[in-house]
Amino acid sequence: MKWLRELLGEQWNIRPAGGATGEAYVGELDHKRVFLKRNSSPFLAVLAVEGIAPKLLWTKRLENGDVITAQQYLEGAKLTPEDMKGEEIAIFLKKIHSSEELLRMLKKIRKEADSPEIILSKVRVQLSEQVFIQPLVQEALKFLEKAMPTVPDDAYVVCHSDLNHHNCLKDEHGKLFLVDWDGAVIADMAMDIGTLLYSYVPMEEWDGWLKTYGLQRSADLEHRLKWYAVVHALAYMELNKDREEMFQWTNLLRGILDSDI
């Protein structure tokens, strides 16, 4: 953090904000806090303008080319797993997936959509041997390969790709925000929805949740939801392979594969 203190000044109180990348910090000066991050996605600016991510306060470019962003620090709280089942999340996610401005801007940055074929190839590359050799993982990879979904053209939208209650925050006024957009992609909306439903919503409540979002449950949609939920579980097994959380994701993956869908 020395480089950050040199950039902002010794009067700042700076502490790590946690997270997988270790590139996020909380800075405090005169009892006012900001959320600081190194090399956030350039997509962050339009997310803030759209009211989906916290307000962007300023950016600074370092001599080495790194960019530091400062965002509004939310004094509110993270959502609970129970909160993720509510209508508010369905409506908020629909707003994100329906935004033409977000899609236009992300196309400028990434251009290419992540098809199921591209996603599967990324999964294979990212898995370490420690995870790859597990029988459950081999079963999941065979499922992904054999059950490759066909995605309608109008289903390709801006996806957060790491939708969980830790990344959903409310400010002191109750306004909802979604943070940690570094993994944003253009992909099937089922990528976000499948992750959310399998992780938080009992299957008997799916019809109501999907109706609130604006989708009709169908065999094709169910298949896509399951496919992307398996992808997400594998990614988190890899991320947590040396942690106790590994068992949580192993159990979730087993449940997804065993589901009747």
Residues involved in catalysis: 162
| Chain centroid, CA 69 distance in Å | 19
Q: Which 3 state secondary structure label does DSSP give 260? A: coil
As a dihedral over the C-alpha atoms of residue 83, residue 79, residue 72, residue 173, rounded to 10 degrees, the angle is 50
Enumerate the H helices of 161-215 as residue ranges.
190-200, 206-213
* Alpha-helix residue ranges (DSSP H) falling in 60-203: 87-98, 100-109, 116-126, 129-132, 135-146, 190-200
- Evaluate whether 209 touches 92 at the Cβ level (below 8 Å): no
| Residue written as token pair 């509004």 | 72
